[in-house]
Structure 1
Amino acid sequence: MSDSRIWTRIQPVVTILLVAVVIGIPLWLVVVTAGKSRGEALTPDLTPPSDWRLLENLGTVWTEGRIPAAFVGSVLVVAPAVVGVLVLGSMAAWILARRSGRTAAVLYAVGISGIVLPPAVVTLVLLLRQLGLAGTATGMIGVYMGIYLSTVIFFVTGFVRTIPPSLEEAAQIDGAGPVRVFLRVVLPLLRPVLATATILICLYVWNDVFYAFFVVGGRLDTLPLNLFRVASAGLYLNNWHLIFAYVIMMSLPLIVVFAVAQRKIISGITSGAVK
């Protein structure tokens, strides 16, 4: 048997083992630590607890960790930021995908430059102060939209190019204007790629603590900021069982979103890769 055939047969096994090591071990560490008592969790390891206290620890974090208020703060920031960046990014991507020439190419390069060029935090904070938006949810939403607009443009532009222009031309013949063509024809066809962009941006924004700390830190509680505060407080200092329980609670909404939209996410990734 040739080496290529042997590798073809063992490749799925190797892939499963790698996934189990890279993803399974960290997940197991989080779950078992969250299920331990304070004494057992002082030094986190992979050994299971002698007495599972996962539900008890989750309940303690829910009541004492101010998770409901922090959850509301995260939703107030994440939902408008994601919706806004998807709408503006998809509209910009549609225009760029349907235009040709050097000007369109330059605008596209500028539009996706945010993927490789990180924003300057000091400049952002100073600009928000000049606009009177420092420390506000509106300012935080604007920051997230500016940061991740490039990601949406990059994903959606390649997908729009796979849509036949004849569909839009038929709507224009029927008297539809640009806005109606986009809303009635283009936008429904973008659902798979928008599902992909949604889960990616939600993942980035939901878990962000770096930009939130500088923009709204101390004025608005989000789940990551609240976790930082809880982990630094004397009551929870070195209480790894409660910190890991908080991580589980914070991750549950994203797990639900991914479970519901996983088919569209995979479809969006593969469709966008065609071009």
Structure 2
Amino acid sequence: MIAIVAPGQGSQTPGMFSPWLELPGARETVAAMSDLSGLDLERLGTTADADEIKDTAVTQPLVVSLALLAFEAIAPSGDLVVAGHSVGEIAAAAMAGVIPKDEAVRLAAVRGRAMADACALEETSMAAVLGGDEQEVLRALDALGLDPANRNGAGQIVAAGPLQAITALRENPPAKARVMPLSVAGAFHTRFMQPAQDRVAEQRATLQGSAPAYTLLSNADGTAVGDGGEFLDRLVTQVTSPVRWDLCMSTMLDLGVDAIVELPPAGALSGLARRAMKGVQNVAVKTPDDLDGVRDLLA
């Protein structure tokens, strides 16, 4: 059993589109995605610097578009598990056939703009808490009024909330834990994103969800969702709810996944899998040079 996973915001790197544009038809595909997103994705994915592509309104459609470009190049078939982390769930929905690729790019652009606008309303941030006792970490966050926005497994919990509380957490971390600030615009996957969730709900109302062609896991609780409409509803509530990637990985193990393929811009989810999914083959797809190995694995 093989799982194909799509990364989320924070995985982007300058120039990440460049090698992929050499694939047949890729420039035309990216041009169409640019029209759908209202952004020049080719320029942003090739020559834009790190500061420009960390803008939430840019990052989200950029990351989703690249994951879908690579997925099309792989052209997998057979019995697969599919999942995405945070905005990567939109890519996963398209990969599983719940919504068309075009609608996924459009939805990612709406989500990115909406979340960027929500971030501007109040000064919030996020920080990764690495190590420590899980329950102690959760109690420390609660005491500071912070939310565990991402529970990523492998000893990593991402705290989110008011900037002042994030600063206090950094100054007084839980026992045996390190706190690493994240370069993000605000507190994603928390109550602070409610205005963004409302706008994503409006876009979701225009979509009809088809039944997934593959086993499609949800960030909400790690379970497989067999109803396309329900999965789209979960994409809406995900904007203000924690990402339970730890539970997604646990479900993959329960399903007998013995290889996990991370689509570009790959690295973050592969790193988590190496630590939390021992014995599972791990492939990070970073350039088209990695595609033959993935196709061999799928075959």
Higher fraction of helix: 1
Alignment TM-score > 0.5, same fold: no
User: With structure 1 as the length reference, what TM-score do the two structures score?
Assistant: 0.28
User: With structure 2 as the length reference, what TM-score do the two structures score?
Assistant: 0.27
Instruction: Return the structure number with greater relative CO, CA threshold 8 A, min gap 6.
Output: 1
Higher fraction of strand: 2
